[in-house]
Structure 1
Amino acid sequence: MTRFAALTLVVLGLAVLLVPPIVQLDQHLVDLSQAGLPPSPAHPLGTDEVGRDVLLRCVYGLRVSFMVGLVAALVSMIIGGTVGLVAGSLGGLPDRLLMRCVDGFSSLPHLLLGIFIVAMFAPSPYAVIVSVGVTHWTTAARIVRSEVLSLRERPFVEAAISAGASRRRLLTRHLLPHLLPHLLLAMVLMVPHAIWHETALSFLGLGLPPHLASLGNMINDGQRSLLAGDWWSSLAPGLFILAPTLAVSVLAQRGRDRLNPRMRSELAL
């Protein structure tokens, strides 16, 4: 499963990187003579209701989803990592106040809060990135805080404190190198979640503009085609959402097992 997941991501990544520069997609194309064509050698995944190639639009939509997912996950990691690092390092009253803020923010429905944030901007990828990034930082904050609290009890950290290491040196030389693998793993796990939220927002008409290739927009447009029997218009973008998110989840699970062998052995019992 790990090799298959890696191969899936490699193939999709190459398609996202190589296809758009080679094959240009006219986002405003309307060719009713080619509308609703079933899968064929000329159009492997058929065409949509206005004659656009579904496979090409899926590749362009996946490129947008990857971009939004990666940038939104990075924004979440920066916000959450900073909050968790400050809370775990300072302890005491600052820790309690920050974590109560995290608990309060976590109690809010992410999707509804994301819809509220996106509604304040014009439909664009940047609005979706801000929406997903601002609503998903609490998990990273908890992960970083728990790791900092664990590291503070390690002998090498206590030795550095006893030797008179400054707070800055303690963070940069002793805490951050041990936190980076956990942050990267949390960021990887955040990417599929961000892709799903971007798709949901676009499906609701609050993400990207309707004429742009987006997997959520394609599923929304494909609803009308289902009544005419054009099942491929909705199935293809759904598979392009499912495949990378499952592949990333499998690889992230493998990375977590390698990062924490004790958890792997406990789960195997």
Structure 2
Amino acid sequence: MADLVTSSTEDSSVPSAGGPTAPAAWRSAARRRAGTPRASIGSGRAARLRWIVGAATLAALAVGAVLLPWLGGLDERVLDYAAVRRPPGPDHLFGTDETGRDLLLLAFAGLRVSLLVAVLCAVVSTMLGAVVGAVSGAVGGWTDRLLMRLVDTVNAVPHLLLGIVIVALYRGSLTAVVASIALTHWTTVARIVRSEVLSLRQRPYIDAAISGGASRWRVVRRHLLPAVVPQAAISAVLLLPHAVWHETALSFLGLGLPPHMASIGNILGDGRDAVLLGAWWIVVLPSVLLIVATLAVSGVAATWRDRLVPRRRSELAL
């Protein structure tokens, strides 16, 4: 009997109240019950490292896109046929394209244009989607059904196909490129904002505001829209890589920006035939630059999303 009592005491996971290791044991037991393993510390460090690397890479690319073409004296209209398709070397780190222009300066100038177009598209599509989602969720009824059917209709059409139709009407126009991307990517933001508004409508302070005599539009303006701004901001940042790739695809097909304007899509479109002649650097090096910029933006956006919308944690996590 004494052995049984001794064994049960030794196997018990409950720490003694007066022992010096009781607080640490309580924290470990609380973490196990709450489902918060020690590995979360490592994941937090990984997220912080991802944020630092992504932000530093994006900042370096942005500075390079602004300063390098200017410091290098790039003129997109000046052609040098004596330096056509030169491979990467000390004089031209990225080599030259089919018209003799320095590919490093040209790629960073194209990255600047692509990022500018992406930012404009993300802002326009986020504002449009936030307004539609807020109105749909706040008003409800037939307005909600009508707007959601509009969202379903836009989503039913392939975005790239619809974008091609829009830019084909105004070929070579920067405004048409921005409109083609923004008008096909606002639906995701609208759904996110609508779901957030529907959740906020069930909160007690919204009922209190309505009971106090506040109009529906005042509730939307003072309570609902400020609450969905973080979600809309995250959606805008997450749209940046998507907008960059859409602009690149449209320019690659010859339907985006004018041919003389520096753009990653134009560079790739001009260099696709040069690959067959052995000038692989015209396509590979700008593509690597585009992929690095996309990964940097995605890493920063994902970390920002995790910070603004933290995961639910148990009250037992100590």
The match for 2:101 is 52
Structure 1 residues 186 and 263, CA gap change in structure 2 (3 angstroms): farther
Residue of structure 1 equivalent to 2:206: 157
| In the alignment, structure 1 residue 75 sits paired with structure 2 residue 124 | yes
Q: Percent identical across equivalent pairs? A: 53
What corresponds to 1:140 in structure 2? 189
Is the contact between residue 257 and residue 263 of structure 1 (CA under 8 Å) also seen in structure 2?
no
Separation in 1 of the partners of 2:181 and 2:157? 13
Q: How far off is 1:23 after superposition?
A: 3.1
Q: 1:36 & 1:122 partners in 2: Cα distance?
A: 28
| 1:35 paired to 2:78 | no
Deviation at 1:230, TM superposition (A): 1.3
Q: Secondary structure at the match of 1:45?
A: coil
Question: Deviation per CA, 1:40-63, whole angstroms, max 9, x where unpaired?
Answer: 122111111221100100111011
User: What's the TM-score, normalizing by structure 2?
Assistant: 0.80
- Within the candidate set 118, 140, 156, 1:91 is matched to 140
Structure 1: gaps of 5 or more residues: none
Amino acid at match of 2:168: A
> Match for 1:53: what amino acid?
D
CA distance in 2, matches of 1:72, 1:88: 24
| Structure-2 residue corresponding to 1:249 | 298
Give 3-state SS (helix, strand or coil) of 1:262's partner: coil
Query: Residue 32 of structure 1 aligns to which amino acid in structure 2?
Result: Y
What CA deviation, in whole Å up to 9, does each residue of 1:156-205 have, x standing for no partner?
Answer: 21221222222233122211221111111100111111110000000000
> Match of 1:231?
280
Pick aligned residue for 1:199 from 237, 244, 248: 248
CA contact (8 A) 1:38 1:46 kept: yes
Matched, 1:259 2:308: yes
Between the two proteins, the alignment pairs up a number of residues equal to: 265
Report which of the two structures shows the higher radius of gyration computed on alpha carbons: 2
The alpha carbon displacement at 1:264 in A equals: 9.2
Q: Which one-letter code corresponds to 1:89 in the other structure?
A: A
Letter in 2 for 1:96: R
Q: After the TM superposition, which segments of 4 or more aligned residues of structure 1 sit over 4 Å from their partners?
A: none
Partner Cα separation in structure 2 for residue 24 and residue 128 of structure 1: 27
2:30 alignment counterpart: none
Unpaired runs of 5+ in structure 2?
A: 1-49
Give the structure-1-normalised TM-score: 0.94
Q: Give the aligned CA root-mean-square deviation in angstroms.
A: 1.5
Matches of 1:24 and 1:244, distance apart in 2:
23
Given that residues 65 and 108 in structure 2 are in contact (C-alpha distance below 8 angstroms), is that contact kept between their aligned partners in structure 1? yes
Moved more, 143-152 or 33-42: 33-42
Q: Answer yes or no: is the 8 Å Cα contact 1:257–1:264 preserved in 2.
A: no
Q: 1: CA distance between counterparts of 2:77 and 2:227?
A: 49
Give, as a single letter, the amino acid of the residue that structure 2 aligns with 1:109: P
Most deviating of 20-29 and 237-246: 20-29
C-alpha separation in 2, matches of 1:193 and 1:264: 31
The change in CA–CA distance for 1:24 and 1:127 in structure 2 (over 3 A counts) is farther
Displacement of 1:263 in angstroms is 6.5
1:14 paired residue among 43, 63, 87: 63
The structural deviation recorded for 1:259 is: 2.1
Distance 2:210 2:312 in 1: 29
CA deviation vs aligned residue, 1:138-169 (integer Å, no higher than 9, x gap): 11110110110011111221221222222233
Check whether the contact 1:85–1:148 (CA below 8 A) recurs between aligned residues. Answer: yes
* CA distance in 2 between partners of 1:19 and 1:263 (Å): 44
In the alignment, which residue of structure 1 is the partner of 2:257? 208
Task: Judge which range, 13-22 or 53-62, deviates more.
Answer: 13-22
CA distance in 2, matches of 1:223, 1:166: 59
Distance change >3 Å, CA 40–CA 81, structure 1 → 2: same
